[in-house]
């Protein structure tokens, strides 16, 4: 249904392009051909005028939004019409936490995402090892034992028969644990006597024998065996990731834990047209000083922006690396791993504030989140002249309920991944017991407290599908509809809130709300088009809404085949 009561926003003067953040001068737009997107429901993301019939675009910028008659009349006869054919259009969906290189590498290396048992894992491995060269390390990622009939992680004893000679390293989907076979452990010099490194764990069985599972910093012990991708492979990975993501319907992503050199490569690939989608980079900590000295780095087409640093406070819940205030309910001898110390953190924070660098820190456990809020607060208090910092906590999964309001009070953004909740809630009750679930994945409580949530997928940890994420946010159910009281159904969000979590709020969380995040005149023409109206269809149908078209700067970068 088109809301004809919508007050049409007249085509604004073409000079508006000047404030659209465009790289071209305002008068360049006057000759640019006008394209009109119409023929389906259009959601603007604006509370005061949530829907429209047509959007006019020229030179990558939105010129007008309103009724079809008015937009067509104002645009003139030369305008090109893009017919939505009944599909629904939204502001560009942005994945606020993803790993761009990993998304591409997932396509280029052994992908274990769909594996449903240890038996199936071993079968795929056996096949892969047959094609490997002598001595070559077989590397794969994406396995997750949740729901497996064996109900445990794989060990080196599972892998050894499939690969007695080639080292094998298979990373768990969350990226915080891996399983290595005996050949890999031996090549890395790990035996039963090797001590756990700081912030990591070599998992051992009851007899003290290393099982092959390495958690968090212990993964570094075998890192040298994994071939880091060469320049050409990286370029291929980024090109692939851009295509894969555009085909899912994302117009952009916030790229986490980026090697500083890779940020430059992405910029070059955007400028030569290999990478189409927008990328907002959070570089690794060694990039802090350069970023602080040089300020934010943007590509000359405006699509790539680097102005943040990513840090780690703890590990993940699945591998019991998340730092908890009280011990794990299903393993009382551990409370998780702290990966950062207060003094180091404050030193980094002060340098970041001085250089205008945004800090985005991974924190999953309740203790990790509490300490991080303490340390952020300490840094903010020590730099009272600094404002509009927009620092983020990545994941913010398990919170003490008393800490929820502190996000709002400190203006800290929560960067959360709805699919983590629907994946984790199968095992979170075991890890945490019943009482700590109140502040777990507490989207609704955070929003009600006034917190901005920038939502994402954490791909390749999760699939990286905006429809799965949107569904998870509004349904808070497994993909098969599963939900129990432990899942805290009240923490689901409304569809209007979910839309903001993937559009307007990611724009704010990357300092780009003046140019991105809503469909209104003067902003960049970034649109996501799904076959169905996900704001109104029954919940279960959201998963099959299918992307139809993805538009960045008015350019159609993906179009589904009919």
Where does this chain bind Zn ion (CB under 5 A)? 256, 458
Can you say how many angstroms the Cα of residue 309 is from the centroid of all Cα atoms in its chain? 15
Residue (505 or 558) nearer to Zn ion, CB: 505
Q: How far is the CB of 99 from Zn ion (least distance, A)?
A: 6
Q: How far is the CB of 373 from Zn ion (least distance, A)?
A: 20
Q: How far is the CB of 144 from Zn ion (least distance, A)?
A: 14
**Rounded to an integer, what distance in angstroms lies between the CA atom of residue 159 and that of residue 169?**
10
**Other Cβ atoms within 10 Å of 174 Cβ, number:** 22
- Helix ranges (H only) for 279-403 are 288-294, 342-354, 366-382
Please give the backbone phi and psi of residue 469, each rounded to the nearest 5 degrees, phi first.
-65, -45
Cα–Cα nearest to 347, from 294, 395, 285, 293: 285
Residue (53 or 394) nearer to Zn ion, CB: 394
Q: How far is the CB of 163 from Zn ion (least distance, A)?
A: 28
Residue (105 or 534) nearer to Zn ion, CB: 105
Residue with the two structure tokens 């490194």? 197
Residue (156 or 362) nearer to Zn ion, CB: 362
**Rounded to an integer, what distance in angstroms lies between the CA atom of residue 336 and that of residue 318?**
11
Residue (53 or 458) nearer to Zn ion, CB: 458
Q: How far is the CB of 473 from Zn ion (least distance, A)?
A: 18
Residue (173 or 348) nearer to Zn ion, CB: 173
Residue (54 or 317) nearer to Zn ion, CB: 317
**Other Cβ atoms within 10 Å of 263 Cβ, number:** 23
With beta carbons less than 8 A apart as the criterion, state whether 246 and 557 touch.
Answer: yes
**Rounded to an integer, what distance in angstroms lies between the CA atom of residue 354 and that of residue 361?**
18
Residue (99 or 524) nearer to Zn ion, CB: 99
Residue (254 or 523) nearer to Zn ion, CB: 254
With beta carbons less than 8 A apart as the criterion, state whether 476 and 489 touch.
Answer: yes
With beta carbons less than 8 A apart as the criterion, state whether 144 and 175 touch.
Answer: no
Q: How far is the CB of 510 from Zn ion (least distance, A)?
A: 16
C-alpha R_g of the chain: 24
Q: How far is the CB of 16 from Zn ion (least distance, A)?
A: 37
Residue (51 or 397) nearer to Zn ion, CB: 397
Residue (178 or 256) nearer to Zn ion, CB: 256
**Rounded to an integer, what distance in angstroms lies between the CA atom of residue 218 and that of residue 201?**
5
Cα–Cα nearest to 440, from 490, 496, 495: 490
- Residue 444 parent element (H or E): helix 443-448
Q: How far is the CB of 141 from Zn ion (least distance, A)?
A: 13
**Rounded to an integer, what distance in angstroms lies between the CA atom of residue 30 and that of residue 26?**
8
Q: How far is the CB of 111 from Zn ion (least distance, A)?
A: 17
**Rounded to an integer, what distance in angstroms lies between the CA atom of residue 504 and that of residue 92?**
9
Spatial CB neighbours of 171, under 8 Å, sequence gap ≥ 6: 139, 140, 141, 142, 143, 177, 178, 219
Residue nearest to Zn ion (CB): 458
With beta carbons less than 8 A apart as the criterion, state whether 527 and 90 touch.
Answer: yes
Left (φ > 0), alpha (ψ -120 to 50) or beta: where does 396 sit?
A: left
Can you say how many angstroms the Cα of residue 412 is from the centroid of all Cα atoms in its chain? 17
Q: How far is the CB of 420 from Zn ion (least distance, A)?
A: 10
Q: How far is the CB of 95 from Zn ion (least distance, A)?
A: 11
**Cβ neighbourhood burial of 371 (10 Å; 0-12, 13-18, 19+):** buried
């Amino acid at each position: 249904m088109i809301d004809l009561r919508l007050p049409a926003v007249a085509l604004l003067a073409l000079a508006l392009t000047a404030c659209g953040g465009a790289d071209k001068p305002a008068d360049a737009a006057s000759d640019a051909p006008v394209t009109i997107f119409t023929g389906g429901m259009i959601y603007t993301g604006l509370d005061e005028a949530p829907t429209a019939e047509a959007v006019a675009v020229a030179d990558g910028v939105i010129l007008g939004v309103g009724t079809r008659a008015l937009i067509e009349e104002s645009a003139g006869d030369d305008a090109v019409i893009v017919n939505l054919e009944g599909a629904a259009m939204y502001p560009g969906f942005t994945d606020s936490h993803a790993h761009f290189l990993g998304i591409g590498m997932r396509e280029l290396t052994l992908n274990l995402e769909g594996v449903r048992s240890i038996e199936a894992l071993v079968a795929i491995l056996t096949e892969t090892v047959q094609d490997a060269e002598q001595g070559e390390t077989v590397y794969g990622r994406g396995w997750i034992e949740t729901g497996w009939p064996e109900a445990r992680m794989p060990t080196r004893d599972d892998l050894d028969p499939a690969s007695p000679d080639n080292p094998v390293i298979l990373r768990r989907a969350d990226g915080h644990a891996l399983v290595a076979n005996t050949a890999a452990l031996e090549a890395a010099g790990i035996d039963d006597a090797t001590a756990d490194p700081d912030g990591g764990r070599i998992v051992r069985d009851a007899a003290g024998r290393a099982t092959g599972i390495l958690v968090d910093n212990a993964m570094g012990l075998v890192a040298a065996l994994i071939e880091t991708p060469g320049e050409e492979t990286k370029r291929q990975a980024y090109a692939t990731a851009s295509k894969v993501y555009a085909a899912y319907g994302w117009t952009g992503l916030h790229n986490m834990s980026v090697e500083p050199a890779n940020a430059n490569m992405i910029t070059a690939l955007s400028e030569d047209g290999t990478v189409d989608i927008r990328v907002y980079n959070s570089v690794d900590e060694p990039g802090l000083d350069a970023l602080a000295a040089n300020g934010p780095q943007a590509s000359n087409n405006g699509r790539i922006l680097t102005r943040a640093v990513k840090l780690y406070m703890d590990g993940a819940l699945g591998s019991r690396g998340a730092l908890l205030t009280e011990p794990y309910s299903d393993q009382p001898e551990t409370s998780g791993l702290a990966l950062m110390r207060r003094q180091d953190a404050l030193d980094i924070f002060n340098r970041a504030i001085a250089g205008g660098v945004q800090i985005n820190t991974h924190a999953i456990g309740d203790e990790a989140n509490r300490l991080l809020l303490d340390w952020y607060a300490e840094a903010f208090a020590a730099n009272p002249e600094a404002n509009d910092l927009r620092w983020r906590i990545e994941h913010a999964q398990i919170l003490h309920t008393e800490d929820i309001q502190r996000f709002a009070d400190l203006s800290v953004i929560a960067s959360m991944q709805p699919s983590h909740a629907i994946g984790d809630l199968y095992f979170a009750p075991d890890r945490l017991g019943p009482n700590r679930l109140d502040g777990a994945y507490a989207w609704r409580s955070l929003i009600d407290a006034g917190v901005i949530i920038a939502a994402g997928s954490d791909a390749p940890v999760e699939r990286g599908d905006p429809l799965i994420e949107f569904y998870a946010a509004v349904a808070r159910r497994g993909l098969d509809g599963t939900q129990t009281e432990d899942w805290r159904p009240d923490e689901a969000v409304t569809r209007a809130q979910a839309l903001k979590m993937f559009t307007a709020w990611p724009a704010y969380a990357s300092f780009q709300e003046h140019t991105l995040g809503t469909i209104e005149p003067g902003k960049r023409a970034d649109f996501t088009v799904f076959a169905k109206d996900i704001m109104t269809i029954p919940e279960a149908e959201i998963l099959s809404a299918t992307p139809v078209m993805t538009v960045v700067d008015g350019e159609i970068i993906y179009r589904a085949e009919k």
